[in-house]
Structure 1
């Protein structure tokens, strides 16, 4: 069992805590300013607790080439590096980058929860919008998957859900590369509707996955938007449906209700 740790990330900044999970004390929860951020099983990095994280892992598993082939992945938002650990376990040798606003967060996490041996991860502390532009010189056209999970508390800052931001992200993607965005939402899914409106002009291929109660019934919850600069691979949606979690809904964005996507019926 991990010894609980608490650390203020900046003199006037948020407080991060690592503590044993109440349901399974052998696992660890990262909490920032009272908001649960990540869950890690130190023994088995493929054991994922949260629904939206399992759906993001499903995107990783569905990425071509299938199997254990390494990928180049950019994580926007670090948390406890749950998916970076998952990638090393399932696709060893992957080249990973993470952009994290709080410079002290990753060292705080890694002191208590080191990454699996062999993990190749570069950390870029600072604002995601600024670093995405800077990484263009190094990674333009080379990133297989961008995972966006950018939150301050319970909200995503406006400048990292804008068209300009996602245009910079799109430039990093390799041919066939994917963007996966975690969206936490209220009843009626206003955040998903707004995000689809921003992404549609930049990414012709768009799909949504999440709990059926959220995607189909527009109740509060998390959805994952998967976006591509070209048509989505034909194998992607069936693979996401099979991967779950269940009950879940996976749909091409064009098949969602016009009221949700902002399209004219």
Structure 2
């Protein structure tokens, strides 16, 4: 994979379709760049090394991908940002075919121009929101479906409903995997309802997160892996416990207890997604 685009990225604040984003250089890594929106870090990419993953939750997502069957993958990503995971998949799974669905055309153009997106092989970008993505995707066309869509630090509720996840299940092949990044804090009410929701569509589900987040002690990311077939739980438990993030893998009875009667989210339900406290991002 090429190291960079045609020109050196330029740090600064850039207008995009939905507001502004800021591109920051990582002074500790020559190829490292951080994309933020409203002061919230959205993506980190290393243009010299696409296998380097700076954010802990992205590393957890990569652990799930690494444990999938060897070989190239057909992947759908809902939510683009700087395309950290598509770059990782292209580097670690040569020959993979990937589609990124991203509603912000200005952001896509910025990432193409500044962060070398054109150098990622076999990657297509579709300008659409997550709910509209279904019309673009064929039945049984994806080995991996990644849902990592946020408005600032908030996951759109319309991407967390039974109806949406049933459409995701239509796209994912029988042995495929769904990966979801969500965020929650004290009480974990949204996370519990989301887990109740995704278990309506997929019988095998596991949750990966920092123990402090799972205890509701702090706001943070929660990674969900789901499939119609058994997940590689032994590998997930080992990687979660032994990785730099020291995360916990919750599944089976513990996950049932975590859901504890929470109701699934349906289209039209009045749900307020969790918003991080200002101190989380130094605001």
TM-score by length of 2: 0.83
1:3 to 4, 10, 21: 10
Q: Out of 18, 30, 37, which is 1:32 matched to?
A: 37
- Give the match for residue 196 of structure 1: 195
**How far apart in 1 are the matches of 2:154 and 2:120?**
34
In structure 2, the CA distance between the partners of 1:209 and 1:95, relative to structure 1 (3 Å rule), is same
Please, which runs of 5 or more residues in structure 2 have no aligned partner?
1-7, 263-283
Are the counterparts in 2 of residues 88 and 94 from structure 1 also a CA contact under 8 Å?
yes
Residue in 2 aligned with 1:102?
104
2:84 matches 1:59: no
Structure 1 unpaired stretches of 5+: none
Q: How has the CA–CA distance of structure 1 residues 120 and 235 changed in structure 2, closer, same or farther, with 3 Å as cutoff?
A: farther
1:104 match: secondary structure: helix
- Is this contact kept in 2: 1:93–1:118, CA < 8 A? no
In 2, are the aligned partners of 1:189 and 1:220 still within 8 Å (CA)?
no
Q: Distance in 2 between matches of 1:183 and 1:100?
A: 17
Deviation of 1:217 (Å):
5.8
Q: In the TM superposition, what whole-angstrom CA distance separates every residue of 1:50-70 from its partner, at most 9, and x where no partner exists?
A: 1100001111101113xxx11
1:112 to 107, 111, 114: 114
Residues 1:117 and 1:100: Cα distance change in structure 2 (over 3 Å): closer
Distance in 2 (CA, whole Å) between partners of 1:61 and 1:216 is 27
Deviation at 1:188, TM superposition (A): 2.1
Deviation at residue 185 of structure 1 after TM alignment: 1.0
* Correspondence list, 1:136-175, <5 A: 136=137, 139-175=138-174
Counterparts of 1:2 and 1:80, CA distance in 2? 13
Q: Secondary structure at the match of 1:159?
A: helix
Q: TM-score, normalising length from structure 1?
A: 0.88
Distance 1:41 1:64, change over 3 A: same
CA–CA distance in 2 between the matches of 1:230 and 1:263?
A: 24
> What CA distance in whole angstroms lies between the structure 2 residues aligned with 1:206 and 1:222?
17
Give secondary structure in 1 for the equivalent of 2:244: coil
Q: Write out per-residue CA displacement over residues 78-133 of structure 1, whole angstroms, 9 at most, x where no aligned residue.
A: 010011111111111100001101112111112111137461111111111111x2
Secondary structure at the counterpart of residue 201 of structure 2? coil
Cα shift at 1:240: 3.9
